[in-house]
Amino acid sequence: MDLSGASTLVTGGAGGFGEQTVRRFAAAGAAVVIADLDEGRGNALAKDLGDRVRFERTDATSQESVAAAVASASELGPLRAAVIVHGGPVVGARILDRSGAPYSLDGFRRTIEIFLTGTFNVLSQAASAMAATEPLDSGQRGVVITTASIAGFEGAVGQSDYSAAKGGVIGLNLTAARDLSPLGIRVMSIAPGVFYTPAYGPDEEAAQARWGAGVPNPKRMGRAEEYARLAQHIVENDYLNGEVIRIDGAQRFNMR
């Protein structure tokens, strides 16, 4: 599938992975809707990239908000690609604290709502818009790329909610691909390891020293543009479907 002339949607498009994906898609000739809650970063990015890129304030957990972002993308042309890379706050707590009290059920639910339910919300609504488009000569209508995590395979201590959410994204992937195959819509998932993004703060050297040393090869944290490069390849390679691709430098989380 050629990005040139396509319309695309990136939820979390103002963040680390999202921004690099937006930039890469725009450079390839796609129109892009940046769907994010961060109005400052989102509007600045859209202004930087020109008239074919627009920002839509979007809450991935809201049906109405996502519907508006999908409609905006569809105004720019047939929606051909959606990348779901939005994030949110993660508490990082054990199931029981030192006193034996359980982790907040509301906190657990909120993480599932953002990372799993929000992913399904965007996937289903983007797929609905793609299904209404005319197929390309290849028979393809579009591709949805979700974002899992290696924590969905082997979560570390204190990641019960995040690991459960990302494990759900991994489990959703093949079923969604099979559900949507008759419509010519592919579904793929990217499972990143430790990547340096703005979430780690401005001191990249300190982050690399703490997190990069645990990566077998290359011995560093991933770069957001490496995620974006993979996302572009997935869009352009029609035979990639129903798979979760780990991009982690062979890292496996340990018990810590």
Report how far residue 97's alpha carbon sits from residue 101's, in angstroms, rounded to the nearest whole number. Answer: 5
Report how far residue 106's alpha carbon sits from residue 136's, in angstroms, rounded to the nearest whole number. Answer: 44
Is residue 92 left, alpha or beta, with left meaning phi > 0 and alpha meaning psi from -120 to 50?
left
Q: Which of helix, strand or coil describes residue 41? A: helix
Catalytic residue among 103, 162, 196, 227: 162
Residue 239: what are its φ and ψ, rounded to 5°?
Answer: -90, 0
Q: Quote the strand ranges of the chain, DSSP E.
A: 7-11, 31-36, 53-57, 79-84, 142-147, 185-192, 195-196, 222-223, 244-247
Whether 162 sits among the annotated catalytic residues: the reply is: yes
Report how far residue 110's alpha carbon sits from residue 107's, in angstroms, rounded to the nearest whole number. Answer: 5
Report the catalytic residues: 162
